[in-house]
């Protein structure tokens, strides 16, 4: 008999089952019945991965560890070694340990009391639905929606009060496939591997990662709810990235909110920007990204989010006392992602030998640029950590074991250039720092896409418009740094009239290098300085903009120095 214990389902719900609600012997016999109906779902999953789900019987109970493995494989969860949680019943630094860390850090699964993961523990259908609801981050339903869903099932009384909303959320996402009786949820039945594969398949269909199979007869859906003339929008949760530290010009602040879907959201960031539109990236989840300009500055800014729907509006406001934006005196916290521009540093202390049981430390990481990448773009991976090591990185399957250089003490950099054949969505970045025979690894999901089929001149050049009489205008010229070393990245940005051909050069040092028009009137290029490049002292960067047979030239206001 399965022991009784508290079951953390999600959204703060904690349920306790008594022995009266445990699966009966007859239910166990039914679970061994034919699961042929699940085979099409299993086959669809196996086509997407190297996993062989049919290696074990589909009728066997699905364990918590196997579900965790499936989630890391199909949802792409990667553990962060800096955010490990104590797990008392898994051996540290084993594959199963890191699998559990990945799903725990993603918020999909949770530990039991005593920090136990219970890897070989089984799952009820309701527990599995709770895990997938958390993995999908589904919006909470209204009370009316809950009642509409529960009215469909003859065994609704077996669902605890706090699990009713869970059923409604799972139903809206298409997870409730009930065989053989579509009107029975069987929330307390032990889940088989075949049934678990069906739930996972439906979750991936909801995310748009798999095409749906023909609608199963075992899936019920309530009649549409009456459309309310006016619904007061709600903002349920907000998140600001980062919430503490220093964000310098050229870096970004991301604001996210969860609330009523299908609304119109915007955000104010201190006095820097008002009414910045937030995109609804999935139903009920809104996001805006703001890049700090050269003159932006704010200390402990207020973040104000507005959500409107059907003429009604809701506002929330947060103050971030530990966040500094721009060139202001920072609050007393360590920057989350330090700038790649070298800052004055105190003389380093004499190195101390590392303990034999500890590897080198990676203390911070920064990726630039923070946007979708196309052909020719250069992604710079910068890490801060123990000096004197050997660093390398992988970026999905696009770049493997790429070397990183210690450009200055404790600061390593590596670069990746997008090739025409490279394509990936949210690839996993893996950084390894090795010193004295010991290593530390860092994983992060690159939150943008890479598409090398874009970016050639025929696809990036904007549609030609009416040519304004006179030479084209250049409004501004900026660089990412005025003090660089050979092998580092020089980024030049120019704002001017759109639809032209742009280039830059270091006068007397380099030939003209073409710039891309990444947005109307915004031209940009990134170039890795050659390792054999001659040193430059107070060099002049000159940009050229041509349009309609006429040319404009302007120099950067700050000279550039390039050291060996």
With H, G, I as helix, E, B as strand and everything else as coil, classify residue 67.
Answer: helix
Instruction: Measure Cα distances from 514 to 504, 505, 523, 533, 557 in Å.
Output: 7, 9, 10, 19, 20
Sequence-separated (6 or more) residues with CB below 8 Å from residue 457: none
> What pLDDT sits at residue 2?
41
What does the alpha-carbon distance between residue 486 and residue 216 come to, in Å, rounded to a whole number?
A: 61
**pLDDT tens across the length of the chain (564 residues):** 343 333 344 333 333 333 333 333 334 434 444 788 899 999 989 887 777 888 889 999 999 999 999 999 888 888 888 888 999 999 998 999 999 999 998 888 988 888 899 999 999 999 999 999 988 888 778 888 889 999 999 999 999 887 888 899 999 888 998 888 889 999 999 999 999 999 999 998 888 888 888 766 688 888 765 544 556 788 877 888 888 778 888 888 889 888 888 889 999 998 888 899 998 877 787 889 898 888 888 888 889 999 998 888 888 888 887 788 887 654 443 333 333 333 334 333 333 332 333 568 887 788 888 788 887 778 888 888 888 888 888 888 788 778 888 878 888 888 887 877 788 888 888 888 888 878 788 877 887 888 877 763 333 333 334 445 678 889 888 887 788 888 777 888 888 888 888 889 998 888 888 887 766 677 888 777 777 788 898 889 999 998 877 889 998 888 899 888
Q: What is the pTM of this model?
A: 0.41
What does the alpha-carbon distance between residue 291 and residue 249 come to, in Å, rounded to a whole number?
A: 7
3-state secondary structure 266-327: EEEECCCEEEEEEEEEECCEEEEEEECCCCCEEECCEEEEEEEECCEEEEEEEECCCEEEEC
Angle at CA of residue 384, ends 382 and 249, nearest 5°: 60
* DSSP E strand boundaries for 292-427: 297-299, 302-309, 312-319, 323-326, 362-368, 373-374, 378-385, 390-395, 399-408, 411-417, 423-425
Q: What does the CA dihedral 36, 40, 41, 45 come to, rounded to 10 degrees?
A: 130
Sequence-separated (6 or more) residues with CB below 8 Å from residue 100: 65, 68, 87, 90, 109, 117, 119
Q: In terms of Cα–Cα distance, which of 98, 104, 108 is closest to 203?
A: 108
Tokens describing residue 335: 């920057």
- Cα R_g (the chain), whole angstroms: 28
With H, G, I as helix, E, B as strand and everything else as coil, classify residue 452.
Answer: coil
What does the alpha-carbon distance between residue 369 and residue 417 come to, in Å, rounded to a whole number?
A: 12
Question: For 13-52, b where at least 16 C-beta lie within 10 A, e where not — what string?
Answer: eebebeeeebbeeeeeeebeeebebbeebbebbeeeeeee
Phi and psi based region of residue 54 (left: phi greater than 0; alpha: psi -120 to 50; beta: remaining): alpha
- Are the beta carbons of 523 and 516 closer than 8 angstroms? yes
Q: In terms of Cα–Cα distance, which of 518, 374, 373 is closest to 448?
A: 373
- Are the beta carbons of 541 and 479 closer than 8 angstroms? yes
Crossing angle of helices 125-136 and 164-172, rounded to 10°: 60
Q: Counting beta carbons within 10 angstroms of the beta carbon of residue 81, is it exposed (0 to 12), middle (13 to 18) or buried (19 or more)?
A: middle
**Phi and psi torsions of 37, nearest 5°:** -65, -20
> What pLDDT sits at residue 23?
39
What does the alpha-carbon distance between residue 541 and residue 556 come to, in Å, rounded to a whole number?
A: 5
What does the alpha-carbon distance between residue 395 and residue 407 come to, in Å, rounded to a whole number?
A: 20
Tokens describing residue 384: 């801060």
Bridge partner list, 430: 394, 443
Strands 411-417 and 399-408: antiparallel
Question: For 184-215, b where at least 16 C-beta lie within 10 A, e where not — what string?
Answer: bbbbbbbbbbbbbbbbbbbbbbbeeebeeeee
What does the alpha-carbon distance between residue 21 and residue 31 come to, in Å, rounded to a whole number?
A: 16
Whether a cis peptide bond, with omega within 30° of 0, leads into 452 is no
**Phi and psi torsions of 289, nearest 5°:** -125, 125
Q: In terms of Cα–Cα distance, which of 537, 508, 354, 373 is closest to 451?
A: 373
Q: Which segments of 86-124 does DSSP mark as H helices, in order?
A: 95-105
DSSP state of 89: T
- Residue owning tokens 């390398």: 392
> What pLDDT sits at residue 347?
35
Which domains does the chain show, CATH number per domain? 6-62+122-206 (no CATH), 235-326 (2.60.40.10), 362-451 (2.60.40.1930), 471-563 (2.60.40.1930)
Tokens describing residue 154: 């003859």
Whether a cis peptide bond, with omega within 30° of 0, leads into 168 is no
What does the alpha-carbon distance between residue 538 and residue 547 come to, in Å, rounded to a whole number?
A: 30
> What pLDDT sits at residue 271?
86
> What pLDDT sits at residue 119?
94
> What pLDDT sits at residue 215?
66
């Amino acid at each position: 008999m399965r022991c009784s214990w508290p079951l953390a389902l999600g959204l703060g719900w904690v349920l306790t089952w008594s022995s009266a609600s445990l699966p009966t012997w007859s239910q166990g016999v039914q679970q061994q019945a034919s699961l042929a109906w699940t085979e099409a779902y299993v086959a669809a999953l196996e086509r997407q991965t190297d996993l062989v789900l049919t290696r074990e019987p589909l009728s066997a109970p699905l364990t918590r560890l196997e579900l965790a493995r499936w989630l890391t494989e199909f949802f792409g969860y990667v553990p962060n070694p800096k955010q490990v949680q104590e797990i008392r019943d898994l051996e540290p630094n084993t594959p199963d340990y890191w699998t559990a860390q990945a799903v725990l850090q993603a918020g999909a699964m949770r530990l039991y009391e005593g920090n136990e993961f219970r890897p070989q523990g089984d799952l009820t259908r309701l527990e599995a639905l709770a895990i997938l609801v958390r993995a999908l981050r589904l919006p909470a339903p209204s009370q009316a929606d809950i009642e509409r869903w529960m009215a469909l099932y003859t065994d609704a009384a077996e669902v605890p009060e706090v699990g009713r909303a869970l059923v409604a959320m799972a139903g809206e996402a298409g997870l409730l496939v009930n065989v053989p009786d579509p009107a029975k949820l069987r929330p307390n039945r032990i889940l088989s591997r075949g049934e678990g594969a069906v739930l996972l398949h439906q979750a991936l269909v909801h995310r748009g990662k798999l095409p749906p199979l023909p609608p199963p007869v075992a899936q019920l859906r309530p009649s549409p709810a009456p459309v309310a003339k006016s619904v007061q929008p709600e903002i349920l949760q907000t998140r600001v990235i980062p919430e503490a530290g220093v964000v310098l010009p050229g870096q970004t602040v991301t604001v996210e909110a969860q609330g009523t879907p299908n609304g119109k959201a915007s955000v104010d960031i201190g006095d820097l920007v008002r009414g910045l539109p937030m995109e609804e990236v999935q139903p009920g989840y809104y996001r805006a990204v703001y890049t700090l300009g050269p003159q932006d500055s704010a200390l402990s800014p207020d973040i104000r989010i507005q959500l409107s729907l059907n003429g009604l509006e809701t506002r929330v406001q947060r103050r971030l006392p530990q966040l500094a934006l721009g060139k202001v005196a920072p609050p007393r916290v360590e920057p989350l992602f330090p700038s790649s521009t070298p800052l004055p540093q105190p003389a380093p202390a004499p190195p101390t030998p590392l303990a034999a049981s500890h590897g080198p430390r990676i203390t911070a990481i920064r990726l630039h640029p923070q946007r979708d990448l196309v052909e020719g773009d250069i992604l710079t991976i910068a890490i801060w950590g123990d000096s004197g090591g050997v660093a390398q990185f992988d970026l999905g399957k696009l770049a493997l074991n790429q070397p990183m250089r210690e450009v200055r003490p404790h600061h390593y950099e590596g670069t990746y250039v997008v090739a025409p054949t490279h394509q990936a969505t949210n690839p996993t970045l893996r950084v390894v720092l090795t010193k004295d025979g010991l290593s530390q690894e860092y994983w992060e999901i690159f939150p943008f896409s890479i598409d090398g089929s874009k970016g050639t001149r025929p696809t990036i050049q904007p549609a030609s418009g009416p040519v304004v009489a006179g030479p084209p205008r250049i409004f501004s010229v900026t660089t990412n740094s005025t003090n660089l070393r050979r092998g580092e990245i020089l980024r030049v940005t120019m704002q001017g009239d759109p639809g032209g051909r742009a280039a830059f050069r270091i006068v007397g040092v380099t030939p003209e290098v073409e710039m891309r028009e990444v947005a109307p009137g915004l031209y940009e290029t990134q170039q890795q300085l050659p390792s054999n490049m001659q040193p430059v002292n107070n060099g002049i960067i000159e940009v050229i903009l041509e349009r309609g047979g006429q040319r404009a030239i302007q120099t950067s206001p700050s000279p550039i120095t390039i050291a060996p």
